Structure 1
Amino acid sequence: MSGGDNGRPAGKGGQAPSRTPHGRRPRNGGWNGNQPKTDAPKRKAVTPRELALNILVKVAESGAYSNIQLNRSLQESGLSRQDAGLATELVYGTISRQATLDHWLSKFVSKGLHKLDKWVHQLLRMSAYQLLFLDRIPTHAAVNEAVAIAKRRGHTGISGMVNGVLRSMDRSRGELVLSAIQEKTPVATIALRHSYPEWLVARWVAAYGAETAEAICAAGNEQPHASIRVNTLLADREERLRQLQDSGLHAEPSAIAPSGIVVSGGGNLADTDSFRQGLWSLQDESSMLVAEVVAPKAGMKVLDCCAAPGGKSSHMAELMDGKGKVWANDLHAHKRELITTQTERLKLRNVEAVVGDAMALSERFAAESMDAVLLDAPCSGFGVIRRKPEIKWTKTEGDISEIAALQRQLLHRVSGLVRPGGTLVYSTCTMEKEENERQIEGFLKEHPEFRLDADWPDAILSNLRDAGVIGDDFDGQLQLLPQHFGSDGFYIARMVKAH
């Protein structure tokens, strides 16, 4: 249940297939996710900024997931693709940068940000984001629309205050630059400069050092690129690559995933005949590595313990040449349809979607009955912050300890299903060592029948070595950081069970 597959709820990353007309790649959600077109007749007139503001207020007040709210609101709005792209950028950018924006706004709001109505605070954040981070948005457009919204929602006093604050910020924009932010400690500087909670930055500085931690934070504020996974049962990557390029898209082979292609300028790739025909799936490049590391062969019996929406299960089925069996399990019954929809689209006949608690899989399946088991574990999800920026502000340090305890139990329960000589792969979409390296270290101490296995596919190892991500000491576990390839932060460990 970690990130990387299109359409996931919290903790499961999606895709953002192309650039908006405003020069920024849109993030997961909205017109560029696996959603219907949004250029249907409007139900009611709404501007992209009004729609974005409504979502920002709802996320702030109720803790709603931004991608789900955005998808729902855009489907109902009737906005053009251009305006939908702007609304998408405003939602994700404002949430991502909110701490930095508040730092700058506080210099111009004399009575204090905490005294503002929530909608006014969000309006100022959203408008400041346009002024300071979106170069292609004219100042007059950002300010005038903010004032108009303030007049419609409030009174003359509020609109006057909004106008004054934004125009003062615009006059001072030369001073409002990230490099000018210098706090008393490296942790505080990184946190404020890149808009992260200090406790999270402190963990990353302790784990990776200040320079790498800052690079992680900076990468988490970038827009994710679009990547597709070719269904190799129907064609090879080179054939699909030529087709995409011939259609006028900018497409290039993934630098890390053997079946991946990075695409830009493609609009809604989920709304294409090729997608509907099962020729490809939308999936993050890091996520694509997981099935490749499992390396299932035709005829094998494979269990994906936390499978929804089915991206990794379907990828393993493709790698097995459609032969053998993949059981795709998920806790929630309503997610079974996500798995079956995906496997049917891909014309896969060797995947069975099942519903159940992963803790109880040993009651459904016989001990040592699986050739390979994948535990794509529930995790803190910090590797997909670019796609779900609100988790910066909603997760706590206590959440990490709680989820690590759950991961530990899951590993113990499902490991007994692996046959002697079989494979156990553990993956997360986070950079937290408590959930990753230390989790596996503890598991191996408790289960000496397992050992790490560095026998990964040669193509993947070559790509990782060429990029300097792994060295000669590679032992079978990998921590991908978002700055490595511009893909999601991911951890993967491959283990084998003794004969």
Structure 2
Amino acid sequence: MTPAARLSAAIDVLADIAARRRPAPDALKDWGLAHRFAGSGDRAAIAGLVYDSLRRKASAAHLMADDAPRAVVLGMLRLARGLDLAAIETLFDGGRFSPAPLTPAERAALEDETLASAPHVAGDFPEWLDASLARVFGEERAEEGRALADRAPLDLRVNTLKASRDKVLASLAHLGAEPTPWSPAGVRIFVAADAKSPPVQSEPAFLKGLIEIQDEGSQLAALLAGAKPGEQVIDLCAGGGGKTLALAAAMENHGQIFATDLDIRRLAPIHARLERAGVRNVQVRTPRKGADVLADLSGRADLVLIDAPCTGIGTWRRNPDAKWRVRPGALAERVTQQATVLDRAVGLVKPGGRIVYVTCSLLAEENADQISGFLARHPGFAVVPPADVAGALGDRAEEFLAASRQSAEGLLMTPRRTGTDGFFVAMLRRE
């Protein structure tokens, strides 16, 4: 496919997403099935155009004074890809499989150098979230939003039960792998805007269980929980098991981790991942209707990790279409779920034990407010100061604290400040 034909395809996919209000991966998959002549490189390039358009949807629509798919793609080429008017006109030439030529209005819009001043436009996030983001970031919310609109690198976690980071870096040198700045087990691969992610799941290092795909922020959240060999740990919202695996490595396969989740479907992948990683200290407690599968663990846990259900705002770099699908009702629902799971953890943790609450959200409603509400309901707990929590990072702790945002309730990582996905981490100790 020519570059112009790829642009036409991206416009069609965006129109499908808008018309049917469906996730971008589903629309891209259906397009690929209907256009089997497109090679893997073509499909990757089209996906890159679609995701970049969704990342910059608000600012692109503002530039073009139009939020139609064609207009958003045009604005994205100017704002995100940095193409000048002449380069864009070459692509939009009206030829076979190419988009129609630019109109005079489109040409004038693309020549306009005026940048949007409204924070939600400059930061490319939904306007209804502006007040919530202003609570956290104030006048910096547009800058934080722009960082969330960049493409994320591919982060991997080295499984230290099987390999060292140096060994993995050597095995992935052909992919340009390098150490992550904060996580001692992190490896990062940068991917160009128009390139497809490397097939790391076909690499020998992955097949042998030496690495897992995991953002550095997620790695740090597990590391900051401070799980130690010999402890009794409950991963209350284990999902696919990413943080469970990281906890097992930190515990050197000693002690016991009980992994569960309210959604049996989310828990399904954990079994194969545990086997591949060589993890031996995890019991998976599969939920059963009408049964408390953790009843025998009451008051026994040194650590209860809550990777809470949330709006996922901190992962917008990887899921740019999600930010345009999230609604106020979803936020309210997540807040209720978070309070419920926090209260559930209380009966599991022993005196002197700790609850570590994690979200991939940047909103105070899901983070600081949840911790404040929990402390009001459960006065027998106290927040462990973020400076103490960061001690798990050793000699990088002080620098990490300077980069992250700290509050009385916990610490916050953001793409702009720490180069990770957005994560909030709070530790609560039972007195």
- TM-score for both structures, normalised by structure 1: 0.75
Q: Is structure 2 residue 57 aligned with structure 1 residue 123?
A: no
Is the Cα–Cα contact under 8 Å of residues 59 and 75 in structure 2 kept in the other structure? no
Of residues 34, 39, 46, the one that matches 1:80 is 39
- The whole-number CA distance in structure 1 between the counterparts of 2:327 and 2:411 is 25
Is the Cα–Cα contact under 8 Å of residues 159 and 209 in structure 2 kept in the other structure? yes
Greater relative CO (CA pairs within 8 A, separation 6+)? 1
Query: In structure 1, what is the equivalent of residue 88 of structure 2?
Result: 139
What's the CA shift for 1:202? 2.5
- The whole-number CA distance in structure 2 between the counterparts of 1:461 and 1:72 is 47
Query: In structure 2, what is the equivalent of residue 163 of structure 1?
Result: 101
**Bigger mean CA offset, 228-237 vs 351-360:** 351-360
How has the CA–CA distance of structure 1 residues 301 and 278 changed in structure 2, closer, same or farther, with 3 Å as cutoff? same
How has the CA–CA distance of structure 1 residues 145 and 444 changed in structure 2, closer, same or farther, with 3 Å as cutoff? farther
Query: In structure 1, what is the equivalent of residue 426 of structure 2?
Result: 493
- The whole-number CA distance in structure 2 between the counterparts of 1:424 and 1:358 is 25
- The whole-number CA distance in structure 2 between the counterparts of 1:393 and 1:416 is 37
How has the CA–CA distance of structure 1 residues 376 and 145 changed in structure 2, closer, same or farther, with 3 Å as cutoff? farther
- For the residue of structure 2 that corresponds to 1:52, the secondary structure is helix
Between the two proteins, the alignment pairs up a number of residues equal to 418
- The whole-number CA distance in structure 2 between the counterparts of 1:222 and 1:260 is 20
Counterpart amino acid of 2:121? L
Counterpart amino acid of 1:102? A
Of residues 224, 233, 250, the one that matches 2:161 is 233
Q: Is structure 2 residue 262 aligned with structure 1 residue 331?
A: yes
How has the CA–CA distance of structure 1 residues 394 and 85 changed in structure 2, closer, same or farther, with 3 Å as cutoff? same
How has the CA–CA distance of structure 1 residues 291 and 143 changed in structure 2, closer, same or farther, with 3 Å as cutoff? same
Query: In structure 2, what is the equivalent of residue 174 of structure 1?
Result: 111
The 5-angstrom pairing of residues 336-375 of structure 1 reads: 336-356=267-287, 361=292, 364-375=295-306
Query: In structure 2, what is the equivalent of residue 19 of structure 1?
Result: none
Is the Cα–Cα contact under 8 Å of residues 404 and 414 in structure 2 kept in the other structure? no
Is the Cα–Cα contact under 8 Å of residues 101 and 128 in structure 1 kept in the other structure? yes
- The whole-number CA distance in structure 2 between the counterparts of 1:322 and 1:310 is 15
Q: Is structure 2 residue 165 aligned with structure 1 residue 206?
A: no
Query: In structure 1, what is the equivalent of residue 194 of structure 2?
Result: none
List per-residue Cα deviations over 1:168-192 (Å, max 9, x = no partner): 53465231x4x5324xxxxxx1222
What's the CA shift for 1:140? 4.8
How has the CA–CA distance of structure 1 residues 335 and 172 changed in structure 2, closer, same or farther, with 3 Å as cutoff? closer
Is the Cα–Cα contact under 8 Å of residues 123 and 141 in structure 2 kept in the other structure? no
What's the CA shift for 1:287? 0.5
- The whole-number CA distance in structure 2 between the counterparts of 1:439 and 1:358 is 27
- The whole-number CA distance in structure 2 between the counterparts of 1:228 and 1:456 is 23
- The whole-number CA distance in structure 2 between the counterparts of 1:360 and 1:492 is 30
Is the Cα–Cα contact under 8 Å of residues 426 and 493 in structure 1 kept in the other structure? yes
List per-residue Cα deviations over 1:454-490 (Å, max 9, x = no partner): 433535264353252359x876721112201221111
Is the Cα–Cα contact under 8 Å of residues 91 and 98 in structure 2 kept in the other structure? no
What's the CA shift for 1:253? 2.0
Is the Cα–Cα contact under 8 Å of residues 336 and 354 in structure 1 kept in the other structure? no
Counterpart amino acid of 1:491? F
- The whole-number CA distance in structure 2 between the counterparts of 1:353 and 1:47 is 48
Is the Cα–Cα contact under 8 Å of residues 5 and 97 in structure 2 kept in the other structure? no
- The whole-number CA distance in structure 2 between the counterparts of 1:364 and 1:91 is 47
Q: Unaligned regions of 5+ residues in structure 1, if any?
A: 1-21, 23-45, 108-112, 114-120, 151-161, 183-188
Query: In structure 2, what is the equivalent of residue 221 of structure 1?
Result: 149
Is the Cα–Cα contact under 8 Å of residues 374 and 424 in structure 1 kept in the other structure? yes
- The whole-number CA distance in structure 1 between the counterparts of 2:404 and 2:267 is 36
Q: Is structure 2 residue 334 aligned with structure 1 residue 387?
A: no
What's the CA shift for 1:131? 4.7
- For the residue of structure 2 that corresponds to 1:195, the secondary structure is coil
Q: Is structure 2 residue 176 aligned with structure 1 residue 250?
A: yes
Counterpart amino acid of 2:151? Q
Counterpart amino acid of 1:62? R
- The whole-number CA distance in structure 1 between the counterparts of 2:64 and 2:189 is 37
Counterpart amino acid of 2:122? R
How has the CA–CA distance of structure 1 residues 412 and 132 changed in structure 2, closer, same or farther, with 3 Å as cutoff? closer
List per-residue Cα deviations over 1:6-36 (Å, max 9, x = no partner): xxxxxxxxxxxxxxxx9xxxxxxxxxxxxxx
- The whole-number CA distance in structure 1 between the counterparts of 2:252 and 2:32 is 38
The 5-angstrom pairing of residues 60-79 of structure 1 reads: 60-70=18-28, 74=32, 77=36, 79=38
- TM-score for both structures, normalised by structure 2: 0.86
Is the Cα–Cα contact under 8 Å of residues 194 and 218 in structure 1 kept in the other structure? yes
